[in-house]
Amino acid sequence: MLIAGAIAVFLASGAVTASAPAAGPCDGHVVLCTRTLPEVALPATHNAMSAPLAGWYSAEQDKPIANQLADGIRGLLIDTHYADRLPDGRLRTDVGDAQRLRSAAEREGLSASLVDTALRLREHLGFSGKGTRGIYLCHAL
């Protein structure tokens, strides 16, 4: 009953029908025109580039960046990493020194064996061989 009540309040508030800010100066709100950037909260998306599109295996967002901007998002948090483009078109993230990676993972509470398993799985799935180094958008190994 509590959940049904919460859903009813949410729907009645118009939250699902709220539109993105109007186009125009100051994001469509005249009151924002006199404020400096530190006085304004900007909606942002974490891993904005990670949307359910071809090539993304663990999407963080429901829509690609263009749609996020149209919906009123004004801050895009984007992760870039060095990676090798392999002959089969896949991208293999450069993890650098494996021991340094293990140490960093351990500081985050992950075991070295977990890192080793992830690296073995990556190779098993065809992420091995020589590739062309570049900077790419990335959210996983």
Region for residue 93 given its phi and psi (left: phi exceeds 0; alpha: psi -120 to 50; beta: otherwise)? beta
User: C-alpha 52: how far from its chain's center?
Assistant: 11
pLDDT per residue as tens digits for the range 87-128:
888 888 888 888 888 888 888 888 888 888 988 888 888 777
Residue recorded with tokens 């340094």: 100
State pTM to two decimals.
Answer: 0.55
pLDDT per residue as tens digits for the range 46-63:
989 888 877 666 788 889
